[in-house]
A and B are shown apart, each in its own frame.
Chain A
């Protein structure tokens, strides 16, 4: 073999190897920034598990087809619970791993400084923090598939209006109370707007600190205002406190509807309240009982890993990852030359209209799309009610598993 021929063969060989490298499916890094330590670690850890399961499922189903079957890889960092660690974690994750998108942060006051970082770096941030103001501060690369806090409050009101009409119960006077975090405040504002829209009279409204030790004063004020329905956005312990105080007082309104209240219809609250928790409802950004194969698969895998069914945080991040997958898929189709360019991916997010597939199968309502602020106008929360020590989806009626009990059978006349 002459020398030049040898060179030619070697070069051909090299070309094959190189093209082989290029043809192999790429791996795209997705960042996970969640509070894995501190007082929100419970939610952050489960959110991360939701993302991991979603990535497993996406990769097993063939990755991003329009990007040649590219697979996703999750890189997680702990964002702590203060703005300094949050900003450090975002800069660290972006500078070391160049992710196509970041999911997370769960807490809105951490999402605000971090979204400044992701916007500067043009990295998509799929947020699971719910406070309304997050999408009102002009961030270009922030998207939130789930219902926001205001929609949680509105959903609770709409549920009560719907069920009252269905059961022929008169509901006019309502009380709205909430714990005074930015989340609680946003939820209550959503409820106030929805109540006014539905021509309900707000007879009592109160914000209180979530760690209050005695609810007697507020409960007696509520009773004195004689509302038909109480809308309540509590945290955990205060929900239990209110439920017990209302029961002990013996003057029970027609209905108490929780909104964004982890203390009313979670497994933990049923355990700590027993039958006091009966008939309480709550709004959720994820519906673990939605009846289809994709959702069942997620619930089963999550249960195998943790021993319990997924709550809001993992559920929201599971479908958020699928939304990201759909956006990458669309970007690959719309911009085959440069699908990962941040502005192209952003464009794809804005053009998304997901009405089928695992993203919607695990989503509480029927479609996912984004308006220019990054919110999903079609998002709705589902309402679950505690019936005989079990939580059951009772609203929207189309996806309900059980008839809601309304009004409360133990309601008293004022």
Chain B
């Protein structure tokens, strides 16, 4: 058992090293770099989602809400008070976290779960979108642009995607590490128990409300930070960042990857986001929307053939080897 765990660590470090070295092979091609960055970005979102969605089993559809909050906090701090996004993105994380607490507290207090939790969390995205549209001082209908620069460390604005990729990669590793720590600590076992059968877990003395709230708040914090980076990468903020589509996508990738398995959502993101992008670039201009059909069929096939997620493929392979 101990040897096995050391092996996993070595494998994880080797994979991280490969991820860090990847851009060196593609250095000159910005397309490959932005693709890597996008994959890493979605990797953070889905891995963070795994904490609340996978381990705690809450079908959360509010990633867009925390992403938008993080983006708007970062942008507003930079544009109004010239506070660097390096600080801004953490502030964004904290704002998202505070908001998640305000929302999560009553939701879990009044035992909103399952489909009702999914519905209320997805409503949150739309509500925030409208609020920021009406809040003219911060949001409003027009895009708010971040300063553009060929290279500004202070504004976190770069022409090349290389710095963004490395920042995203660090955030991804941190997210995976946090997920791993939770998974192997008491909170993780509580969450897994809650995900399996909430009533049974509560009977056994698991603090359902507190555990779920902790998971939600950590998830919101990580997504909020990502939101700050998202604003910097694309150079603006807009109310469309509160996107139900992104929220849905994050949940789908998380589920397809394998609920509660640390590397599952990341695996799904790497395969599916890359695959979809290659399909879009290859087919999108000629056979309109065919790529989305293929993508959807692949998702359905995975759900049918591997109901426990893509990660279960690796699990099966490992079992056979043993």
Q: Mask for B251-293, Cβ within 8 A of A = 1, else 0?
A: 0000000000000000000000000010011001110110110
A109 to B38, CA, bound (A): 18
Q: Are B288 and A36 in contact (CB under 8 A)?
A: yes
Which B residues are in CB contact (< 8 Å) with A289?
none
CA distance A80 to B235 in the complex (A): 18
A92 (CB) vs chain B CBs: closest residue: B281
Q: Which of B243, B277, B281 has the most CB of A within 10 A?
A: B281
Query: Which chain B positions have C-beta within 8 A of A112?
Result: 143, 145, 235-236
| A388 at interface by CB-CB < 8 Å | no
For the complex formed, measure the closest distance between the CB of A87 and the CB atoms of chain B, giving whole angstroms. Answer: 6
Across the interface, which residues of A come within 8 angstroms of B281, CB to CB? Answer: 77, 88-89, 92, 96
- A-chain residues with CB within 8 Å of residue B30 when the two chains form the complex: 91, 95, 117
Asked if A120 is at the interface of the complex by the 8 Å CB criterion, the answer is yes
Tell me if B34 counts as interface (CB < 8 A to partner A): yes
> For B286, what are the chain A residues with a Cβ–Cβ distance below 8 Å?
76
0/1 string, A265-304, CB within 8 A of B gives 1? 0000000000000000000000000000000000000000
User: Hey, what's the 0/1 contact readout for A79-104 against B, CB within 8 Å counting as 1?
Assistant: 01011110111011011100000000
Does the CB pair A78–B38 fall under 8 Å? Answer: no
- The answer to whether B285 and A75 have CB atoms under 8 Å apart is yes
> How many residues of B are counted as interface, with CB atoms below 8 angstroms from the partner's CB atoms?
35
Most buried by A among B31, B159, B233, B246: B31
Cβ-based interface call for B7 (8 A): no
Q: Is the CB of B284 within 8 A of A77?
A: yes
Does B280 contact A89, Cβ atoms closer than 8 Å?
A: yes
In the complex, the answer to whether B288 meets A45 with C-beta atoms within 8 Å is yes
With A112-B145, A182-B142, A209-B130 in contact, do A84 and B285 touch (Cβ < 8 Å)?
no
Bitwise interface map of B from 9 to 47 toward A, beta carbon under 8 Å scored 1, else 0: 000000000000000000001110011001001000000
Report if B245 contacts A (CB, 8 A).
yes
Q: Is the CB of B141 within 8 A of A181?
A: yes
Q: Mark A299-338, 1 if CB is under 8 A from B, else 0.
A: 0000000000000000000000000000000000000000
Residues of B within 8 A of A186 (CB): 142
Whether, in the assembled complex, B317 has its beta carbon less than 8 Å from a beta carbon of chain A, the answer is no
Q: In the assembled complex, which residues on chain B have CB atoms less than 8 Å from the CB atom of A94?
A: 31
Is the pair B143, A133 in contact by a Cβ cutoff of 8 Å?
yes
B133 beta carbon closer than 8 Å to chain A: yes
Q: Are B289 and A88 in contact (CB under 8 A)?
A: no
Known: A87-B34, A137-B145. A95 touches B29 (CB 8 A): yes
Considering the complex, which residues of chain A in the window 53-93 have a beta carbon less than 8 Å from any beta carbon of chain B? 75-78, 80, 82-85, 87-89, 91-92
B212 contacts chain A at the CB level, 8 A cutoff:
no
Specify the chain A residue showing the minimal Cβ separation from B245: A82
Choose among A87, A92, A131 the residue with the greatest number of B CB atoms under 10 Å from its CB.
Answer: A92
Residue among B35, B143, B148 with max Cβ neighbours from chain A (10 Å):
B143
Total interface residues on A, using CB and 8 Å? 41
Of chain B, the residue at the smallest CB distance from A45 is: B288
- A133 contact set on B, CB distance < 8 A: 142-143, 145
Kindly list chain A residues whose C-beta atoms are within 8 Å of the C-beta of B29.
95
**Interface status of A249 (Cβ within 8 A of chain B):** no
- Supposing A137-B145, A182-B141 touch, asked if A85 and B280 sit within 8 A by C-beta, the answer is yes
- Asked whether, in the complex, the Cβ of B284 is within 8 Å of the Cβ of A36, the reply is yes
Would you call the interface of chain A mostly helix, strand, loop, or mixed?
helix
Contact of B238 among A45, A77, A109, A180 (CB under 8 A): A109
Query: Is there a chain A Cβ closer than 8 Å to B234's Cβ?
Result: yes
Q: Which of B31, B141, B148, B238 contacts A116 (CB 8 A)?
A: B148
- Evaluate contact between A185 and B243: CB separation under 8 angstroms: no
C-alpha spacing A89/B35, complex, angstroms:
10
Distance from B296 Cβ to chain A, minimum over Cβ atoms (Å): 12
In the assembled complex, the Cα of A226 lies from the Cα of B204 at a distance in Å of 69
Question: Is the CB–CB distance between A108 and B143 below 8 Å?
Answer: yes
Interchain CA distance A202-B152 in the complex, whole Å: 44
Query: What is the chain B residue whose CB lies nearest that of A186?
Result: B142
Q: Is A41 an interface residue (CB 8 A)?
A: yes
A82 partner, pick from B235, B246, B277, beta carbons under 8 A: B246
Q: Does B240 contact A (CB under 8 A)?
A: yes
Q: Which of B245, B277, B286, B288 has the most CB of A within 10 A?
A: B288
Give chain B nearest CB distance to A374 CB in angstroms: 15
Scan A115-156; emit 1 where CB is below 8 A from any B CB, else 0: 011001000000000010100011000000000000000000
Name A residues whose Cβ lies closer than 8 Å to a Cβ of B: 32, 36-37, 41, 45, 75-78, 80, 82-85, 87-89, 91-92, 94-96, 108-109, 112-113, 116-117, 120, 131, 133, 137-138, 180-182, 184-186, 207, 209
Q: With A37-B289, A180-B133, A182-B143 given, can you name 19 additional A-B contacts, CB distance below 8 Å?
A: A36-B289, A37-B284, A78-B291, A83-B234, A84-B234, A85-B280, A88-B277, A88-B280, A89-B284, A91-B31, A91-B34, A95-B31, A109-B238, A113-B235, A133-B142, A137-B145, A138-B148, A181-B141, A185-B142
